[in-house]
Amino acid sequence: MTGFSERLRNETSENWQAAINHRFVDEIFRGAVPHDVMRRYLIQDYQFVDRFVALLGMAIATADRFSSRIRFAQFVAMITSDENTYFQRAFDALDVPASERETPTITAPTTAFQQLMKQAAESGNYAACLAVLCVAEGLYLEWADRPGAELPQDFVHAEWITLHNNDGFRTFVTWLRAELDRVGLGASETNRIEAAAFFHKAVALERQFFDHVYDR
């Protein structure tokens, strides 16, 4: 029987495949993302962190199990430590001034994804929170997880890959998908429809986000 998370993944396969096989992914594994593109990508991606942590906070608040709250709390600790540290080191290497780290001009796809995370959190629907998280983390695992691929020498490229393909991250994404399957099975039809809509929108926005960093 196909689980809820796999069904949603199949329904969004066109945008999902376009994102995980994007030009950006090929270039980051070759260490060949142009300096201005990588700079723009990380500046915009960093603008998700605050809203993403808030979404994780709502997942903690709405989860129906203490064990689930613990998993999310542990993940929040990683985002606010290892990943945040990577961003600061990468910004230093890319000569990004404080103004562009903290108050850059926000692009339309970035704004749209920020709003989507805000709406999922404000819905109070645990399944909706899980749906957005499954896209945000599951899609990144799939593009980054290339067994046997050689890492680029530049840490800005290499560590963005390894942040999203290590064993701890794989385990968390596997758990996220299983959690969405479990919660989706017992959710009301209304909550399932709402979660599915969030999932579809999130995948479309991920593709747009990859595309737009090449726009000048």
91-107 per-position pLDDT tens digit: 999 999 999 999 999 99
CA 168 vs CA 2, 70, 86, 106, 144: distances in Å:
25, 15, 17, 31, 14
pLDDT at 190: 96
Give the whole-angstrom CA distance, residue 188 versus residue 38.
42
Q: Does domain 4-212 have CATH number 3.30.300.30?
A: no
Give the whole-angstrom CA distance, residue 33 versus residue 127.
35
Contact 88, 80 (CB under 8 A): no
Instruction: Say what the pTM is.
Output: 0.96
Q: What is the pLDDT of residues 6-55, one digit of tens each?
A: 999 999 999 999 999 999 999 999 999 999 999 999 999 999 999 999 99
Contact 72, 56 (CB under 8 A): yes
For the chain, how are helix, strand and coil distributed in percent, rounded to 5?
80, 0, 20
Q: What is the pLDDT of residues 146-183, one digit of tens each?
A: 999 999 999 999 999 999 999 999 999 999 999 999 99
Give the whole-angstrom CA distance, residue 34 versus residue 26.
12
Contact 175, 71 (CB under 8 A): yes
**Could you tell me the residue ranges of all domains in the chain?**
4-212
